Amino acid sequence: MSLTPASADPTPGIAGGSSVPRHVAIIMDGNGRWAKARGLPRAAGHRQGAEAARKVLRAAGEAGVECLTLYAFSSENWRRPEEEINDLMGLLRLYIAKELGTLHKEGIRLKIIGDHTAFEPGTARKVDEAVARTATNSRMTLAIALNYGSRNELVNAARSLAQRVAGGEMEAQAIDEAAIEAALDTADLPPLDLLIRTSGERRLSNFLLWQAAYAELLFVDTLWPDFDGDALRLAIADFGNRERRYGGL
């Protein structure tokens, strides 16, 4: 796959002279319904969902998106049956095994948001190895949210800042928006420009709540396994037609 280099333009949402979101995040919803409609087990929907993730990553890179963040496993997903959790973990290991070489070759850094250390040790280790192998890549970032919940991320940020204040490292007065941003899992990612949710649901479901403050939201009816490069290009075109005022006129 070939990727165009990410724009060096620091303006949010402006890359290469056209309006391309620097950071796109996706709530990949609808795998179960996709499978059910075909009389298949839910695992088949997740498998097709992983294939969609592969296609969308390639299209994002080609469009000049600097960072793609995918919600693969929420901190609430532990409530699913054990068999489905195991299927999702197996799929994550398979995705890493199949895609790591391509990610590295294409200069894509893998980053995890959330706490994957709660995963079974073999899976957590594979994730760590993939992150370490791609750590110095700089062409694009693929951030995968694993055992992620936005409120929990904010709780952790508040705790770490409180500890620094208690330890005399910083003044309480110095806690501002930048300090909170710097304490989030997404600290080293570009500002979130576009958040997409598939499958017709119109909720954020505890995903990137702080980061979405000024993001454009796009809800599409397509079930995630049917989302592909063309669907992403349409989403980017829709983003390009929006006027972002950040509270101004």
Catalytic residues: 29, 77
Could you say whether residue 30 binds ligand FPP (CB under 6 A)?
yes
Listed ranges 7-15, 69-77, 106-114, 241-249: which one lies at the site for ligand FPP (CB under 6 A): 69-77
Could you say whether residue 91 binds ligand FPP (CB under 6 A)?
yes
- The count of chain residues that interact with ligand FPP, using the rule CB under 6 A, is 19
102 — phi, psi (to 5°)? -65, -45
Q: Choose between 15 and 207: whose C-beta lies nearer to ligand FPP.
A: 207
Beta carbon of residue 185, minimum distance to ligand FPP (angstroms, whole number): 17
Could you say whether residue 231 binds ligand FPP (CB under 6 A)?
no
Q: Choose between 51 and 169: whose C-beta lies nearer to ligand FPP.
A: 51
Residue 233 has a CB neighbour count (10 Å cut-off) of 14
Q: What is the CA radius of gyration of the chain?
A: 18
Asked if residue 173 lies in contact with residue 36, where contact means CB atoms within 8 angstroms, the answer is no
Could you say whether residue 61 binds ligand FPP (CB under 6 A)?
no
Tokens of 43: 């695992």
Could you say whether residue 130 binds ligand FPP (CB under 6 A)?
no
Task: For Cα atoms 30, 83, 87, give the angle at the middle one, nearest 5 degrees.
Answer: 60
- With a CB cutoff of 8 Å and minimum separation 6, the contacts of 229 are 55, 56, 58, 59, 62
From 15, 28, 192, 194, residue interacting with ligand FPP (rule: CB under 6 A): 28
Cα within 13 Å of Cα(97), Cβ side: 8
Residue type, position 40, single letter: L
Please, which of residues 133-192 interact with ligand FPP by CB under 6 A? 144
Taking the C-alpha atoms of residue 222 and residue 126, their distance in angstroms, rounded to an integer, is 31
Q: Choose between 91 and 232: whose C-beta lies nearer to ligand FPP.
A: 91
Residues that bind ligand FPP (CB under 6 A): 28-33, 46, 49-50, 53, 70, 72, 77, 88, 91-92, 95, 144, 224
